[in-house]
């Protein structure tokens, strides 16, 4: 007899290699496929899974697995995308947490709802996008966020969180802090302002405008430019395992930045409104000679030093050995501690 449709889809000793974009080997003792908010509640009510620690896995594009996972892995596969409503000043669009982010962005543009084009081609799932407040080319998720629904992993209750309640920061949110492992994001709603206005402040987009002589690109053109820029310097995880930027761009005080500029006038830096300065981690790593280097089976991508890659058959431990060596050499030369951007398990 086939199992009832309300039964949880459970796999024991499941390989996670295909479920993380780094392609790192790790085995989940138990993997549960989550297709709806109701499935999350079934996990909470389950006699064994309910009380056990959980590990929420989205697209696996922002995680470094260094060991097998004893916690119950919840693989989020919640589908769906729809226009919630059309206000005078915005389109409100919703997607299930399991939708691939890049497909969702392309779909909104196809439907005639622009606003996410600067975030084109980012790997990972919709449900993971608020966790690290994904950002690229002058736009962050929080700039287009409306609200999200989540299910509490202790009580099984559904909650709706506003932007303020998500505590968004640079590659950060409450889901990396207080709520880490404590809730499952099930749906995310986006607020796409109308009339649409392009975000063109980023250097690479200015370069494209100059190159093409098009100073008033539409959303589709910006989408195409962003895809081209990303393809030119970021490795496609389907071809070379990676987790995007491996380190956050560090923020230092104005004095510390002046001191570094005194010794390295070329350093790429961006002054922030509060007087502190953000440094390009990729530049720091590159300056230490790491670009294109390989240690064991892990390496530094040859077109972008901020991205660590799996050269084939790497383990999570090898990736972390390389990461630590990079951190040490950047600290030795610049006195700056680089912080990993993905979740290290």
Interacting positions 285-324 with ligand EPU (CB under 6 A): 286, 291, 304-306
Q: Say whether residue 41 binds ligand EPU (CB under 6 A).
A: no
Confirm whether 341 is a catalytic residue.
yes
Contact indicator for 69, 55 with CB cutoff of 8 Å: yes
Peptide bond preceding 170 in cis form (omega within 30 of 0)? no
Judged on CB neighbours under 10 Å (0-12, 13-18, 19+), 117 is buried
Q: Say whether residue 31 binds ligand EPU (CB under 6 A).
A: no
Q: Say whether residue 282 binds ligand EPU (CB under 6 A).
A: yes
**Joined tokens for residue 158:** 């559904």
Angle at 337 between CA 230 and CA 232, to 5 degrees: 10
Work out how close the CB of 304 gets to ligand EPU at its nearest, in angstroms, rounded to a whole number.
5
Confirm whether 86 is a catalytic residue.
no
Centre a 10 Å sphere on the Cβ of residue 131 and count the other Cβ atoms it contains.
24
Shortest-Cβ-distance residue relative to ligand EPU? 244
Work out how close the CB of 266 gets to ligand EPU at its nearest, in angstroms, rounded to a whole number.
9
Work out how close the CB of 137 gets to ligand EPU at its nearest, in angstroms, rounded to a whole number.
5
Q: Select the residue interacting with ligand EPU from 22, 55, 113, 137 (CB under 6 A).
A: 137
Cα separation, 283 vs 202, in Å, equals 17
Work out how close the CB of 291 gets to ligand EPU at its nearest, in angstroms, rounded to a whole number.
5
Q: Say whether residue 117 binds ligand EPU (CB under 6 A).
A: no
Q: Say whether residue 143 binds ligand EPU (CB under 6 A).
A: no
| 171, 173, 230, 318: the active-site residue | 171
Roughly what angle, to the nearest 10 degrees, separates helices 101-111 and 219-233? 160
Work out how close the CB of 287 gets to ligand EPU at its nearest, in angstroms, rounded to a whole number.
8
The three-class DSSP label of residue 212 is helix
Q: Say whether residue 222 binds ligand EPU (CB under 6 A).
A: no
The three-class DSSP label of residue 11 is strand
| 94, 117, 318, 341: the active-site residue | 341
- Measured between alpha carbons, how far is residue 205 from residues 4, 49, 138, 142, 230 in Å? 52, 48, 10, 21, 12
Q: Name the residues that contact ligand EPU, by CB under 6 A.
A: 136-137, 244-245, 248-249, 268, 280, 282-283, 286, 291, 304-306, 341
Catalytic site positions: 171, 245, 341
């Amino acid at each position: 007899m086939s199992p009832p449709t309300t039964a949880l889809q459970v796999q024991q000793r499941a390989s996670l290699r295909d479920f993380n974009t780094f392609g790192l080997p790790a085995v989940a003792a138990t993997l549960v496929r989550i297709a709806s908010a109701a499935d999350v509640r079934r996990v909470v009510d389950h006699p064994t899974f309910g009380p056990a620690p959980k590990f929420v896995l989205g697209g696996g594009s922002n995680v470094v697995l260094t060991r097998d996972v004893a916690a119950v892995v919840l693989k989020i596969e919640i589908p769906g995308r729809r226009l919630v409503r059309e206000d005078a000043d915005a389109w409100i669009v919703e997607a299930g947490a399991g939708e691939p982010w890049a497909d969702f962005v392309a779909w909104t543009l196809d439907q005639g709802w622009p606003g996410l084009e600067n975030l084109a081609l980012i790997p990972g799932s919709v449900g993971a996008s608020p966790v690290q407040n994904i950002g690229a080319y002058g736009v962050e998720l929080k700039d287009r966020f409306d609200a999200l629904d989540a299910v509490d992993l202790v009580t099984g209750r559904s909650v709706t969180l506003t932007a303020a309640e998500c505590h968004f920061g640079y590659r950060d949110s409450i889901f990396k802090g207080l709520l880490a492992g404590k809730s499952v994001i099930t749906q995310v709603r986006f607020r796409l302002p109308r009339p649409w206005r392009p975000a063109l402040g980023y250097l690479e987009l200015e370069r494209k405008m100059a190159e093409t002589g098009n100073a008033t690109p539409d959303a589709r053109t910006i989408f195409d430019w962003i895809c081209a820029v990303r393809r030119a310097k970021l490795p496609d995880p389907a071809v070379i395992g990676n987790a995007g930027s491996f380190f956050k761009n560090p923020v230092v005080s104005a004095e510390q930045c002046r001191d570094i500029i005194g010794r390295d006038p070329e350093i790429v830096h961006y002054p922030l409104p509060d007087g502190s300065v953000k440094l390009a981690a990729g530049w720091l790593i590159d300056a230490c000679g790491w670009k294109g280097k390989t240690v064991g089976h892990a390496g530094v991508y040859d077109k972008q030093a901020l991205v660590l890659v799996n050269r084939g058959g790497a383990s999570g431990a090898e990736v972390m050995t390389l990461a630590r060596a990079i951190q040490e050499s950047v600290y030795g030369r610049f006195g700056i501690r680089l912080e990993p951007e993905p979740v290290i398990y």
